[in-house]
Structure 1
Amino acid sequence: MRTKSWIALAIVILSRGKCGLSTCTTHYLVAMAAADLLVVITEVILYQVRRHYFYWSFLSITPVCSVNTVLISAATRCSVWFTVIFTFDRFVAICCLKVKIKYCTGKTAAVVLATTGVLLCLKNIPRFFTYEHINIIDNVPWGCNTVDSYYTDPGWVAFDWIDTVSTPFLPFAVILLLNALTVHHILVASRVRKGLRGESKGENRNDPEMKSRRRSMVLLFTISGSFILLWLTYVVNFVYIQITGIGADRNDSQYIFNYVGYLLRNVSCCTNTFIYAVTQSKFREQVKSAVKYPLTSVLQLINKSPP
């Protein structure tokens, strides 16, 4: 619950636009935080908490359970792909100055985010039809069990592979490629600017442009690096299962590894808010102001009240 509150607070603070970030960057960060919040609500609260503590509840009715599973998948993929398009936006802003003027705008960011979100939601609708009930009690279907045809039918097998490749393998490749190109561009640009400014190795002159790029790099690499590290266990486990074809029992170490992979995957959807706090000084200032605001308001009311 604290994580949900912090993410909601991050959305409010970023939406105010007082963190010293550009409009397009703010749009991307708000969208990523919103997707992370949806993951926490659908995966952690509505699924995991329900599964372990409130199994016989309204949420366990088969249609409701199926809808929630679709929402979990859509929210997770939105969180991943919003990270990808944010990485691409920073790549354009740093490396493609001619395109930056037209692409890195608030309007473009809104269109890209909306289009991506709609497409990902539509893509996950078929997942609703991959589940069937486990029990029927008083003519009410309960539980969600994957239909057997999902593992054998060519259409569903193709759907599963496309879904797995699109998340997280393709995002992995795109983020690594864009970060590599961004680092190469910044290193080359840094050497060129130092040469033009006549800096020697022992000098350390202030360069506002390079400082701005460093701040962008810190935010970009922290977010994308966190994503890659936290999804790595999930990816390794998937590749291992596909190569060996070996499943796992509940008491097996592979089962634990698989469970840890899912855990870290969910954690990756909760880290961005803390990354903002660590890398953005103005964001920290806004958080402090938000935390102090209730106490300050109470003290002001007390001071204004008549004796």
Structure 2
Amino acid sequence: MTPGIISANLAVIVIFSRGRCGLSGCITYYLVSMAVTDLLVIITAVILNRIAGIYFPFSFLSITPICSLRSALIFTAIDSSAWLTVTFTFDRFVAICCQKLKLKYCTEKTAAWVIGIVAALTSIKNAFLYFIYEPRYTINQVPWFCNVKAFFYISAAWAAYDWIRCIVTPFLPFILILLLNALTVRYILAANGARKRLRAHGNGENQTDPEMEKRKRSIILLFTISGSFILLYLLFFITILYVRIAKVTYFSGSNSSESTFTLEEKGFMLQFLSSCMNPFIYAGTQKKFRNELRNGLKYPFRQFIKFLRILK
């Protein structure tokens, strides 16, 4: 399954980078960056963490410093993926609802700056996670695996950091995405009602409206991406609240409760699923994306047939 998910995200990156899907440059920048971060989540969280941990438990990846670095990279990729969804949602809100700001904000240059700022801030935020771990075992003076240090739960500073981490991702993205989508829907309903009344008095109700059709496609893409994010990140948010309110610990082995383990693992599973969903969303909502994907799948067979004809 993992190779298929990696291939799907690579296909998304290649197809959107070619710019043949009829999308604006800023949308393409956001979608490509989201695909890149989703790919990084799969590589760091699934391959280097889960698969390597299960099948190669005593590899160099399990040495405590590497394990700590791996954790920081995982959460950096997850946070980047979440906040790029927010920035994409905001970009579409501006494009649809703020026509004056659209010309200045919805550009490739702005999108590149926003993506760079998100990457930098999420890296700084999660760099602190490197320092919360201690070795679970020390064998021949080599520290192995990662346990969360006890002071992480009793220190006021670390408790504040964990609450801030929870608020910044995923609580704040939840609120922003819901708010922006609500404002966007409100604007679209009002605008569509006005356009229908104008067309009813002018050319007739039954004629198709290209602008409304274009807006409809954009909204379907926006709502499927942001909606899947909200649903699939909800349990991760609940896990952080449960740990702090119920005063239990995150899963770190035998000292964790079964309820914490179950909740945390299901939350991570849905997070990883979120990184797998976007390629299917693009394929389901974008006709030109499906055409490009179909052409890409046919390309090797066409080249093989040409090669056979040359041999004949």
* Alignment map for 1:1-307 (pairs within 5 Å): 1-198=3-200, 203-245=205-247, 252=258, 255-305=261-311, 307=312
Aligned 8 A contact 2:85 2:226 in 1 = yes
Question: 1:21 is paired with a residue of what secondary structure?
Answer: coil
Distance 1:198 1:118 in 2: 50
Distance 1:251 1:113 in 2: 38
Aligned 8 A contact 1:130 1:146 in 2 = yes
Deviation at 1:252, TM superposition (A): 4.3
Aligned 8 A contact 1:11 1:30 in 2 = yes
Question: 1:2 is paired with a residue of what secondary structure?
Answer: helix
Aligned 8 A contact 1:95 1:185 in 2 = yes
AA paired with 1:147? K
Distance 2:13 2:285 in 1: 16
Distance 1:237 1:36 in 2: 21
Distance 2:89 2:201 in 1: 31
Question: 1:136 is paired with a residue of what secondary structure?
Answer: strand
TM-score (norm 2): 0.93
Aligned 8 A contact 1:250 1:256 in 2 = no
TM-score (norm 1): 0.94
Aligned 8 A contact 1:35 1:76 in 2 = yes
Identity of aligned residues (%): 49
Distance 2:142 2:59 in 1: 12
Aligned 8 A contact 2:166 2:237 in 1 = no
Aligned 8 A contact 1:39 1:75 in 2 = yes
Deviation at 1:259, TM superposition (A): 2.1
What CA deviation, in whole Å up to 9, does each residue of 1:99-151 have, x standing for no partner? 00111011110011011111111121111111111222222211111111111
Question: 1:197 is paired with a residue of what secondary structure?
Answer: helix
What CA deviation, in whole Å up to 9, does each residue of 1:165-207 have, x standing for no partner? 100000000000000000000000001111122269x933211
The 1:254/1:163 distance shift into structure 2, 3 A limit, reads closer
What CA deviation, in whole Å up to 9, does each residue of 1:47-84 have, x standing for no partner? 01122221111110111111111100100000000000
Deviation at 1:298, TM superposition (A): 1.0
The 1:144/1:29 distance shift into structure 2, 3 A limit, reads same
Distance 1:145 1:82 in 2: 30
Aligned 8 A contact 1:179 1:221 in 2 = yes
| Aligned residue pair count | 305
Aligned 8 A contact 2:93 2:184 in 1 = yes
Q: Can you give the 5+ residue segments of structure 2 that lack an aligned partner in the other structure?
A: none
Question: 2:200 is paired with a residue of what secondary structure?
Answer: coil
CA RMSD of aligned residues (A): 1.9
